[in-house]
Amino acid sequence: MCAVLMGAIPVEGATPARPASFEVKGRAGSLGQLPVVSLDDGGSYVSAERLASLLKGSWSVKGPRATLTVSRRTAQFTRDQARLTVAGEALTLEAPARVTSKGWLLPEGFLAKGLGKLAPGITAARPMAAVESRPRLKRVNTSVPFEELRYRSYPSFTRIVVEAGAELSYLVAPGQKEIRVRLSSLAVPALRVEGIDDGLVKEVRLESTGPDALLKIVLEGRAADVKTASLQDPFRVVVDIYRPKESASQGAPKTNGGVTPLQLIVMDAGHGGHDSGAVGPTGVMEKDVVLDVTRRAARMVEEGLGIKVALSRSTDVFVPLRERTNFAN
């Protein structure tokens, strides 16, 4: 029998398997909810400013570094770095601190490994999700257009992405030989089959089944874990199938020093074409500046490091966001 995992969008008759927030508690009780933010890397993050507010502390940023202070104790973060200092003690998390349009985001691992050191007696945990009845997909009145099915194999996991024209709910049923994802109201015009054969996933099949679509992920190896997430702009359902640790270490190409060599860097010059970006007081356009900087950086990397660089655009043209992400992935 297969276990059923709930999609990130609420479904009728049940709460999601992974609640969308942490409950922060102190000795006197609950301090409030800390919403979870999912990024393209598949990780879960929380707002640094929101956490500081719940802890009645302060959050300060200076360049690429930031400090969370609670009752004279500090946690010091560096942008895009997993290593930090908490109450004078060095700590390394599984994911780095990120900076997005939502501000500074801290990986959820900090709540488990660093919060207790920063604020003794304070904990953060996801509330238990009580399933009240058999889960059912949340229906919409109109069909959701299908945009794209794609995949990428990594040394430690394989990622399957289904992109849709609007939000939809989904149910995941993982099994030993096959993983099934039912996508509510997704209109798939014809059967789509992608052969992967990477030692973990044999193939993926996306087909119409009644008012919904069914994604079948056929396994050819043993999956250690399956994680799902839904992301916005554009909307997509992401399924990550992880290899056992011993298989992942065997599948990654390594140098004599045991480090996986970097072979390609993708650089994305924003804006372009009709999208000028910001315009300076003398008429200089952001699209021209970022393109010039990107070209220079690409040349320096290729000549200085010997690593191949691919540019999302090399001329003054507009490239849609979806094409940029597809190019990079």
Among the listed residues 177, 156, 171, the one whose alpha carbon sits nearest the alpha carbon of residue 5: 171
Please say if the pLDDT value at position 82 is more than 50: yes
Strands 29-35 and 89-92: unpaired
At residue 248, the pLDDT reads 55
On whether both 119 and 28 belong to a single domain, the answer is yes
Could you read off the pLDDT of 270-296 as tens digits, one per residue? 899 888 888 888 889 999 999 999 999
What are the Cα distances from residue 220, in Å, to 39, 97, 177, 190, 197?
28, 35, 7, 25, 8
On whether both 31 and 107 belong to a single domain, the answer is yes
Q: Which of 67-76, 127-136, 155-164, 270-279 is predicted with the least confidence, judged by mean pLDDT? A: 127-136
Residue 13: pLDDT band with limits 50, 70, 90: very low
On whether both 295 and 216 belong to a single domain, the answer is no
Cα atoms found within 13 Å of the Cα of residue 47, Cβ hemisphere only? 15
- Show Cβ contacts of residue 246 under 8 Å, excluding neighbours closer than 6 positions: none
The whole-number average pLDDT for the span 126-136 is 52
On whether both 91 and 174 belong to a single domain, the answer is no
The whole-number average pLDDT for the span 75-97 is 91
Tokens 């079948």 locate to 216
Could you read off the pLDDT of 140-172 as tens digits, one per residue? 668 899 999 998 888 888 999 999 999 889 999
CA distance 151 to 205: 12
Does residue 100 belong to any structural domain of this protein? yes
SS3 at position 229: strand
What are the Cα distances from residue 143, in Å, to 137, 140, 181?
14, 7, 17
Does residue 233 belong to any structural domain of this protein? yes
What are the Cα distances from residue 104, in Å, to 37, 77, 80?
11, 10, 10
Please say if the pLDDT value at position 3 is more than 70: no
Structural domain containing residue 301: 264-328
The type of residue at 151 is Y
Backbone phi, then psi, for 10, in 5-degree steps? -55, 145
Q: Which of 42-56, 120-134, 223-237, 276-290 is predicted with the least confidence, judged by mean pLDDT? A: 120-134
At residue 12, the pLDDT reads 39
Does residue 138 belong to any structural domain of this protein? no
Does residue 113 belong to any structural domain of this protein? yes
Please say if the pLDDT value at position 173 is more than 60: yes
Q: Which of 51-55, 105-109, 248-252, 324-328 is predicted with the least confidence, judged by mean pLDDT? A: 248-252
At residue 174, the pLDDT reads 85
Does residue 316 belong to any structural domain of this protein? yes
What strand order describes the sheet that includes 5-6? 5-6, 170-174, 178-183, 212-219, 201-209, 192-195
CATH number for the domain spanning 149: value is: 2.60.40.3500
Do 86 and 43 form a contact (C-beta atoms < 8 A)? no
Tokens 């919060």 locate to 115
CA distance 301 to 218: 39
On whether both 101 and 175 belong to a single domain, the answer is no
At residue 148, the pLDDT reads 92
